[in-house]
Amino acid sequence: MLRKIFFLLVLLVLGHVAKAQMAMSFDGSYAIVGQHFGHYQNGFGIQAEIYYYDQRRSLIYSLSMDMQRFEAKTDYVEKYKEAQHNVFDFKYKITAYSIPILLNAQYRFFDKKKIQPSLGIGLGFYSYTDKYKQEGQYTSNTDLFTQNAFGMYPQARFVFQFHSDFGVQLKSGYHYIFTHEPLSYVDIHLGLIYKI
């Protein structure tokens, strides 16, 4: 049901884009782990986002997709290795991936030509995967454990428009994923935004 609602919301946003002032951004990000991420280190990611500006109401609507990657801490990997009780000396690599696809709404406080701050929230679908890779001299094996869930993303954004069509944006937010044990992390984005 949530997927159908999300799909309808996407169609509503895309139905207006032809008449809108639009922009697109590409960011790199740094993610700080939070609740139930204790055995992972802080991670890195990338994001692409397309924006629709409602100039009359000072609102910004967007559709975003990003991927964050987290490496497990060394002590957690060692504990996991000991728990396997393998006869052979395997190496283990444990990583986690978070892939959110979100619809976002932001309020732009004032519309100066060069400085554009805004606050907002994103809602949507998260795919979260733990990847356990076992590597031996002659064999390797990978186990994936994926959870799909609804999540939200309160966010703050600052754009410095250094050219009529190009700008630099700094964005930060708090991801909260409604999995069986809720997951959370804070990310900080820096990237380029341009009008399309």
Q: pLDDT of 14-33, one tens digit each?
A: 555 444 589 999 999 999 99
pLDDT band at residue 143 under the 50/70/90 scheme? confident
Residue 46 has pLDDT above 60, yes or no: yes
Q: Nearest CA to 104 among 56, 154, 55?
A: 154
pLDDT digits (tens, 9 = 90+) for 96-137: 999 999 999 999 887 667 888 999 999 999 999 999 888 776
pTM: 0.81
pLDDT at 13 (0 to 100)? 55
Q: Dihedrals φ, ψ of 157, to 5°?
A: -140, 140
Mean pLDDT calculated for residue range 142-161: 93
Most confidently predicted of 27-31, 39-43, 89-93: 27-31
Instruction: Report the DSSP pairing between strands 183-195 and 91-108.
Output: unpaired
